[in-house]
A and B are shown apart, each in its own frame.
Chain A
Amino acid sequence: MAETNGHNGTPPAATPSAGDGNGSGNGGNRVAKVLAGAKAVQARATEELKETIKAPEKTDVWKSILRVKHDETPRSRALGVLSNVFLHLHPAKINRDAVAYNYTWGMGGMTFYVYITLVFTGTLLMFYYHPSKVVAFRDILYLESDVPFGKLLRNMHRWGAHLMVIMVELHMFRVFLTGSYKKPREFNWVVGVLLLVLTLLLSFTGYLLPDDQLGFWAVTVGTNMARATPLLGNQGPFGAQLGMTPYNDVRFGLLGGSIVDSNALLRAYIWHCVAIPIIASAFMVVHFWRVRKDGGISGPAPMMLESEIKEVRKV
């Protein structure tokens, strides 16, 4: 605080007037003092406003938000990335060969971008959607025909969902082809597989939400497959021996009943809009953090230009 301009401090002129006024009974003197104090405060405020406009980066507010003085130096730029909550997972410096698009395809980043788009459009769709039978499909029609940009949002959400599945798979394919799942990135591969499963679960739960014939029968079929889950399904291996019936098995847990009905719609809605996005976001944070901790985006062996070679070591 020593070197600040004192913008946040109480102006010294205002304090004595308030303090004196409490005790004495001299009315006229008091008013004059208060007026003088107010004038001083006003002058001070104008002065500070001018300074703030002239050099906002010198104010306490600015410094408290940005924390780091920004110069056009590599160090300052690196600090700018490291000290930013949104960028801090990103390494300050990246191997040039590792970010070549023909190597990474940019699929991980693009998947994340599509995910953000889906969260945004999905949140907007939630403003018009009621997760209950009869009303749900009516809301879809309402969104498509009566809500401004509703059709655009719904289609962005739908096509974005398809795109995300495709991109996650292409990302996985790239990671496989470049051998990026190998040591020390095995853990992150597993996190990635979990994220793939979560992506597919998001797609599956979102499928039922329009409550149309396509989604209804798709979920009927999908949850009937869950009957055959080993141990947890009533028709799966060892399911019957463990006491699984259509009323207590994993399918029942998914549907909230023995048939695909209003409970199933509500459960799909909550998994789709709240639970799985939170779980997936947590895994994404771990995934991105591990990319960095495991040495950044995997890439070809670091290549140096001749001018960058500092010393030649003889082997």
Chain B
Amino acid sequence: MANPTLEPPGTVPKDAAPQSKPPLIQALRSIFSKGEDPDEARTVARRRRFVMAAVLGTLSVNLLMFLRFFFPRALYEPKTKFTIGYPTDFGFGVDTKFQKDHRIWVVRNTEGIFVISAICTHLGCTPDWKPSENKFKCPCHGSGYDPEGINFEGPAPRPMDRAHVELDPQGQILVDLSHLYSWPKGERSQFGDDGAILRNV
């Protein structure tokens, strides 16, 4: 097939018009067969199509490889499962001593002990615990949460998530940050589920 963008308009052969692109299979067959196609223009068209398909195929496979390259199979990120000590270590109220190492707060209220993931539900900053105001306040956009992590001001859409907690055989609290309990707006609260809170400890 004459490519009008490659050749000056005058050189388009008259017999080129009725020919359309041959299908790829046919192109491949004619390239690898020994018999010669008497129609040279058609042969050239097939070859061009084959080369184009090869180039585009290589490029698209390379693009997929390029994209996949950015997603490694293994990550070396901080552990999401760890122990934080015995239930008796934690008094009533908010405990911030694991904020720096594990980005969590341990809270004991009248019901029991639970662990808040210290990630603002607005855009993921770490709120500050303000003991004098008895609330969490996010420095990024001003979301406010009560001591149980329930949002009451600012742009946060829902309370902060809570991590799965259980007692290990030694009686220590085992926290699993990969298993979160949340309370999306207008939906059922998961905060009372098994594992969201340690009762009677």
Contacts and interface: CB of A to CB of B under 8 A. Distances in A.
B70 interface: yes
Contacts of A217: 125, 139-140
Interface stretch (A87-95, A176-184, A255-263): A255-263
Contacts of B55: none
A6 interface: no
B32 interface: no
A43 interface: no
A256 B124 contact: no
Contacts of B125: 217, 220-221
Contacts of A230: none
Interface in B58-87: 70-72, 75, 77-78
A252 B72 CA distance: 10
Interface residues of B, number: 11
Nearest to A223: B124
B52 interface: no
Interface in A233-273: 247-248, 252-253, 256-259, 261
A261 B78 CA distance: 10
A224 B72 CA distance: 20
B140 A221 contact: yes
Contacts of B77: 257-259, 261
B104 to A, nearest CB: 14
B123 interface: yes
8 contacts: A217-B139, A217-B140, A220-B125, A248-B71, A253-B70, A256-B72, A258-B77, A261-B77
Interface of A: 217, 220-221, 224-225, 247-248, 252-253, 256-259, 261
Interface of B: 70-72, 75, 77-78, 123-125, 139-140
